[in-house]
Amino acid sequence: MEFDTIAAISTPMGEGAIAIVRLSGEEAIAIADTIFKTKSRKKLSEVESHTIHYGNIVDPDKDQVVEEVMVSLMRGPRTFTREDVVEINCHGGLVSVNRVLQLVLTQGARLAEPGEFTKRAFLNGRIDLSQAEAVMDLIRAKTDRAMNVAIDQMEGRLSKLIQRLRQELLETLAHIEVNIDYPEYDDVEEMTHTVLIEKASKVRNEIEILLRTSNQGKILREGLSTVIIGRPNVGKSSLLNSLVHENKAIVTDIPGTTRDVIEEYVNVRGVPLRLVDTAGIRETEDIVERIGVERSREVLKKADLILLVLNYNEALSEEDEKLFEAVKGMDTIVIINKTDLPQKIDLHRVKEIMSSQHLVTTSLLEEEGIDTLEEAISSMFFAGNIESGDLTYVSNSRHIALLNQAKKTIEDAISGIEINVPIDLVQIDLTRTWEILGEIIGDAVHESLIDQLFSQFCLGK
C-alpha cells in the first residue's frame, strides 16, 4: 500500500524536555533532508537505517537555524508503520517544536490525523486491530496492571488466541464439508456428529473464559467508579482524603484529545478507583433523602463500588437503614468509622441488615483500618487471580460485545447439532462465529469503523 507522508508532534504537548516530530511515508527521508543539516553534510538518504544523527534544523528559505536536534532514521519495513520513519528530537520548548513541524509541513508532509500512525501500522499489516486498540489503551493506562494488560494485547496475545479459535472453526467447517461431499460414508457420519459437538463446545468454552476476564479487564481499563455515601458528618470527606493521600492520585489528562476531562483516580493495590469528586460527595450526602430510595438506586446502580460509611459513635438511624436498602444487591463495603470514640452503634443490627457486604471498621482520625479497607477492595474485585500471568484479559468494550455475539452463534450451532438440524444451518452459525471473531482482529471490518476507531487516538500516535 502507498500513502502520502504524514507528520505530527508525537510527544505530549508542553510536557517533558524533549519533543519529537515524527514523519512517516515515502517522502519522509527526502523531506527531512531538505531541512536537516549535519556538520559532515551527510544526507539522511545516504546513511544506514536505524541510526541517530546530530545536527540542526535549518529553514531553507531564510537559511536560518531553527533548532538543534537529534534525528533518528528508520527505513521501512522495520518500523512501527512499516514505512520510512524519521523522528526529529527537539530540545526546545513548544514554540520551536511547532516551528519544526511547520517546516516539515511546508516541505510537503501532511499533518497526521489522530491515530493515523497506528492506523498505517494496521493498514500496512504491521499490527492487527486489537493490537492497535491496545496502543490506545496503553496511552490511557492508569495503573501498572492496566498497562500490563495493554502490553499483552499489543504483543498480540489476544490476537493469537482469537486466531487459534478461528482456525479450529475452519477445521470444523472443513470437516462438515467433507461430510457433505462424501455422504456415502455412512460410518463417518456418526463420528462427525460427536466430534462436531466436541469441537464447537471447546470454542464456546474458550470464549466463555475470555468473557469472564472481561469484567476485570474493563475495571483495569476504565477504573472502578466508586461512590461514597453516608449521613452528614460520618467521615466521607475524610475517607476520600485518606484514600487520595495514601495512594498515588492519578490524573488523566490526555493532551491532544478532544476529551480533555480531568478525572481523579487513586491506585488501590493496582485497582484504579474513579472517585466521585468532593462536590459529588456533597451531592450524594443526602441522596436518599432528596430523591427517594427508588431513584437513588438508579443513580447508585451506575457505580461499580459503593462505600457506605456509618458512625460508630452514633446509634443507627432510619436514614442509615434507608441507605442499606438503596444499595441492596450492589458491590458495597460498609465502613464503620470513628472507632476511637465510644461505641453507640448497634453492631448486631448492622449485621442483621447487611446482606453479603464486607464490613470494615476504621478510625480515619487515627489513620486506622485503611489497610483493611484497601485489602477488601482489591480482594473483592480480583480475588487474587489477576496476578497470574496466564489469563488473557479482554477489556475493550467492542471486543466484549463481539465475544458475546460469537458465544451466542456458537451456542446456536451446538444446539442445532444436538437436535439434528440440517447441517447447512450449522455451517451458517459456525461461519458466522468465525466472521464475528474476525472482527476483533480487524479481519473484515467495515472501513468506517476503522476510521472511527483510529480517530479516538491522540494526535501523533
- The site for ligand GDP (CB under 6 A) is made up of 230, 232-238, 337-338, 340-341, 363-365
Q: Is 237 annotated as a binding residue?
A: yes
Other beta carbons less than 10 A from residue 90's beta carbon: 25
CB of 417 to ligand GDP, least distance (A): 59
CB of 283 to ligand GDP, least distance (A): 12
Other beta carbons less than 10 A from residue 186's beta carbon: 7
3-state secondary structure of 314: coil
Closer CB to ligand GDP, residue 96 or residue 278? Answer: 278
Closer CB to ligand GDP, residue 238 or residue 431? Answer: 238
User: What DSSP line would sit under 119-165, residue for residue?
Assistant: HHHHHTTSS-HHHHHHHHHHHH--SHHHHHHHHHHHTTHHHHHHHHH
Q: Residue 145: which of Zn ion, ligand GDP, none does it interact with, CB under 5 to 8 A by kind? A: none
Closer CB to ligand GDP, residue 166 or residue 338? Answer: 338
Q: Is 278 annotated as a binding residue?
A: yes
Closer CB to ligand GDP, residue 174 or residue 341? Answer: 341
CB of 288 to ligand GDP, least distance (A): 14
Q: Is 286 annotated as a binding residue?
A: no
Q: Quick check: 219 and 305 in contact, CB under 8 A?
A: no
Q: Is 6 annotated as a binding residue?
A: no
Q: Is 461 annotated as a binding residue?
A: yes
Closer CB to Zn ion, residue 38 or residue 237? Answer: 237
Cell 466484549 sits on residue: 400
Closer CB to ligand GDP, residue 114 or residue 230? Answer: 230
Q: Quick check: 107 and 100 in contact, CB under 8 A?
A: no
Q: Residue 221: which of Zn ion, ligand GDP, none does it interact with, CB under 5 to 8 A by kind? A: none
CB of 299 to ligand GDP, least distance (A): 18
Task: Report the DSSP beta bridge partners of residue 265.
Answer: 250, 274
Q: What are φ and ψ of residue 134, in 5° steps?
A: -65, -35
Closer CB to ligand GDP, residue 103 or residue 239? Answer: 239
Other beta carbons less than 10 A from residue 455's beta carbon: 13
Cis amide linkage into residue 255, ω under 30° from 0: no
Angle between helices 397-418 and 186-222 (to 10 degrees): 160
Give the DSSP H or E segment for 329. none
Q: Is 277 annotated as a binding residue?
A: yes
Q: Is 234 annotated as a binding residue?
A: yes
CB of 324 to ligand GDP, least distance (A): 17
CB of 376 to ligand GDP, least distance (A): 17
Q: Is 236 annotated as a binding residue?
A: yes
CB of 87 to ligand GDP, least distance (A): 50
d(CA 176, CA 293): 56
Give the DSSP H or E segment for 212. helix 186-222
Cite the DSSP H helix spans in 285-369. Answer: 287-301, 318-326, 347-353
Q: Is 349 annotated as a binding residue?
A: no
Q: Residue 209: which of Zn ion, ligand GDP, none does it interact with, CB under 5 to 8 A by kind? A: none
d(CA 192, CA 327): 51
* Residue list 223-242, contact with Zn ion (CB under 5 A): 236-237
Ranked by CB distance to Zn ion, the top (closest) residue is 237
| Residues tagged in the binding site annotation for K(+) | 233, 252, 254, 257
| Residues tagged in the binding site annotation for Mg(2+) | 237, 258
| Residues tagged in the binding site annotation for GTP | 233-238, 252-258, 277-280
Q: What is the contact surface with Zn ion in residues (CB under 5 A)?
A: 236-237
